[in-house]
Chains A and B, each alone.
Chain A
Amino acid sequence: MISLLSTPWPDVDDLLLPALGETVRTVVLVMSIVVLLGGPLGLLIFNTSPLGLRPHRAVNVSISWIANLGRSLPFLVLMAAVIPVTKLVFGTTIGFKAALIPMSIAGVAFFARLTENAVREVPREVLDVGLASGSNRWQIVRGIQLREALPGLVAGLTLNVIAMIEYSAIAGAIGAGGIGYLAVNNGYRRFDDHVMIACIVVLIAMVQAIQFSGDRLVRALTH
């Protein structure tokens, strides 16, 4: 049974499209930060480990600890915990900006681990090839490690984007806007089933499309 309180179908678009735009904007922005910070962090974690190009226990333990910190708290708790920071930086705790800081913290920590795992898959012997022919560390990281790990990195990126879409929806619960906010605020609180269904369909379609393209890309990059 469809509730009488529902927004008529033709009008759902007017609510959905701006929310979708906001979600996409948030995820794209957060993902840029995630790749820019989480990628190098992951490389640093791996390469300071005993298997890496420049083992350094103290550095490894500390950055590994920091990365774990970002993944320790359930996202809802993390979000609440960093509200003071958000307020300090943006002067507000609602709307699209409110989600940026907690999502970035969680995303960077997640991507650092995904990057570490992806480069760990590159056999040590292949790095030795670079060392034995006189390549410097940066050349080995860029020309061998990242290049060989690319399919794994893309797979990780896919996973991360999907996680960020999910987080953006959770962020909706504290009024951060986007599809999640629309689903919670209109669909759930106002019993607007049309909006709820539309949100669910859009989320499913988005996640499926991202996973599908990610898988295709990984296959294309694997030789």
Chain B
Amino acid sequence: MIEISGLTKAYGDTRVLDGIDLTVADGQIAAVVGPSGAGKSTLARCINLLERPTSGSITVSGQDLAALSGKQLRLARREIGTVFQSANLLRRLTAAQNIALPMRHQGVPEAEIRRRVGDLLERVGMLQRANHYPSQLSGGQRQRVGIARGLALQPSVLLSDEATSGLDPDATRAILDLLTELRDDLGVTILVITHEMDVVRSIADHVAQLDHGRIVEQGAVADVVRRSDSPLSRALLPMPTVPAADGRRLWTLRYRGAVSPVWLSHAGRDLGDIAVLAALVEESGDTSVGRLTVGLDPRLDERRVVDVLADLGLAAEPVTSLRAVRAESAA
């Protein structure tokens, strides 16, 4: 388990991170997402203790690592294994030697190193390439070695700092599967820092959105996608682009949980033709969450539309965003 509390990092007067609170339970995968410049890389460097936070604490297994210094800090860094963007392997060492390096530096006995390197290579599916140099490996393979090296000192937390950026979709998928597998088999807590929503959708249990150095929204992924109107929810489950509305007025409808499966035909009786332009239904646990964009007769009274749909268990809202207006005028 890793508990980050009140983490702040300032350079002079500039606060790059401002009071970050984030807790990842044992064996969970949490993702921090955000645009570039949001402070993701600083957050990553604070978590793996390469940068000292200005204030706040980072607690792993009950110990506040941010408060340590000197030799203790060096030893504490082992608690958190890091998988770096583009792997950062030593070019002059083979895959096996790269994985062995942290263990060598920590004085792990040679026989133990050999055994663990073998185990790790097998776990990440690289046993056949143990003696290859990084230049002989693909990006995805290099990242597998990077993950194995991150696990070499048996950390309780694995930090993945943009580990899949720059990989092609297949390699990304394979790396994400590997991370999930590691969590399932080893029970390691994983904190993923990424700008890719796909990564969050695929593996995260918990998600936090970082913006301008603050966490603006967070929660269990299953909860966040059900939130009716949150930017993070929209980013996680984006609506497909709305096609031409044919002179109809655009409405956004949302429902959660109990709604009659035949609500559409019921609504149609009162409101006339309903053009379903985009729809998204997500099963989350035992409830379903739906979001639709529909086109209705523009002459309908707004109040009436909202009431009719509310009776059926749906929240309705006319689309007013600039993008939708443009879509309307283009139609």
Q: Let me know if B75 and A132 touch, CB within 8 A.
A: no
Among A61-69, A140-148, A163-171, the one that faces the other chain is: A140-148
Q: Which of A132, A147, A148 contacts B50 (CB 8 A)?
A: A132
Q: Does B92 contact A (CB under 8 A)?
A: yes
Known A-B contacts A147-B92, A148-B90; A133 and B75 likewise in contact (beta carbons under 8 Å): no
Q: A134 CA to B105 CA in the complex, in Å?
A: 8
Q: Let me know if B48 and A132 touch, CB within 8 A.
A: yes
Nearest 9 pairs between A and B by C-beta? A133-B102, A223-B133, A135-B105, A134-B77, A125-B88, A132-B82, A139-B105, A134-B78, A134-B74
Residue total for A at the interface (Cβ-Cβ under 8 A): 22
Q: A30 CA to B149 CA in the complex, in Å?
A: 41
* Residues 121-173 (chain A) with a chain B CB within 8 angstroms: 123, 125-126, 128-136, 139, 143-144, 147-148, 150-151
Q: Does B152 contact A (CB under 8 A)?
A: yes
Q: Let me know if A135 and B102 touch, CB within 8 A.
A: yes
Residue of B82, B84, B86, B88 most packed against chain A (CB within 10 A): B88
Smallest CB gap from B93: residue in A: A147
Give min CB distance, B70 to chain A, whole Å: 10
Known A-B contacts A135-B102, A147-B92, A223-B92; A129 and B84 likewise in contact (beta carbons under 8 Å): yes
Q: Let me know if B92 and A221 touch, CB within 8 A.
A: yes
Q: Let me know if B106 and A131 touch, CB within 8 A.
A: no
A-chain residues with CB within 8 Å of residue B102 when the two chains form the complex: 130, 133-135
Q: Let me know if A128 and B105 touch, CB within 8 A.
A: no
Q: Does B241 contact A (CB under 8 A)?
A: no
Q: Which residue numbers of A lie inside 8 Å of B, CB to CB?
A: 123, 125-126, 128-136, 139, 143-144, 147-148, 150-151, 221-223
A-chain residues with CB within 8 Å of residue B82 when the two chains form the complex: 129, 132-133
Give min CB distance, A151 to chain B, whole Å: 8
B-chain residues with CB within 8 Å of residue A222 when the two chains form the complex: 91-92
Known A-B contacts A144-B90, A223-B91; A131 and B105 likewise in contact (beta carbons under 8 Å): no
A-chain residues with CB within 8 Å of residue B88 when the two chains form the complex: 123, 125-126, 128-129
Given contacts A125-B84, A134-B78, A143-B104, 9 further A-B contacts (CB under 8 A): A125-B88, A130-B102, A133-B152, A134-B76, A134-B102, A134-B106, A221-B92, A222-B91, A223-B134
Q: Which of B91, B105, B134 contacts A130 (CB 8 A)?
A: B105
Residue total for B at the interface (Cβ-Cβ under 8 A): 31
A-chain residues with CB within 8 Å of residue B104 when the two chains form the complex: 143
Q: Let me know if A148 and B48 touch, CB within 8 A.
A: no
Q: Does B148 contact A (CB under 8 A)?
A: no
Give min CB distance, A137 to chain B, whole Å: 9
Q: A76 CA to B19 CA in the complex, in Å?
A: 63
Q: Which of B90, B92, B153 contacts A134 (CB 8 A)?
A: B153
Q: Does B61 contact A (CB under 8 A)?
A: no
* Residues 42-85 (chain B) with a chain A CB within 8 angstroms: 48-50, 74-78, 80-82, 84-85
Q: A45 CA to B144 CA in the complex, in Å?
A: 35
* Residues 118-172 (chain B) with a chain A CB within 8 angstroms: 133-135, 149, 152-153
Q: Let me know if A136 and B74 touch, CB within 8 A.
A: yes
Give min CB distance, A37 to chain B, whole Å: 25
Mind listing 25 A-B residue pairs with CB under 8 Å? A125-B85, A125-B88, A126-B88, A126-B89, A129-B101, A130-B101, A131-B50, A131-B77, A132-B80, A133-B77, A133-B78, A133-B82, A133-B101, A133-B102, A133-B153, A134-B75, A134-B78, A135-B106, A136-B105, A144-B90, A148-B90, A148-B91, A222-B92, A223-B91, A223-B134
B-chain residues with CB within 8 Å of residue A123 when the two chains form the complex: 88
Q: A85 CA to B299 CA in the complex, in Å?
A: 102
A-chain residues with CB within 8 Å of residue B149 when the two chains form the complex: 129, 133
A-chain residues with CB within 8 Å of residue B93 when the two chains form the complex: 147
B-chain residues with CB within 8 Å of residue A125 when the two chains form the complex: 84-86, 88
B-chain residues with CB within 8 Å of residue A148 when the two chains form the complex: 90-92
Q: A144 CA to B93 CA in the complex, in Å?
A: 10
Q: A148 CA to B88 CA in the complex, in Å?
A: 12
Q: Which of A133, A147, A150, A221 contacts B105 (CB 8 A)?
A: A133
A-chain residues with CB within 8 Å of residue B48 when the two chains form the complex: 132
Residue of B78, B80, B90, B104 most packed against chain A (CB within 10 A): B90
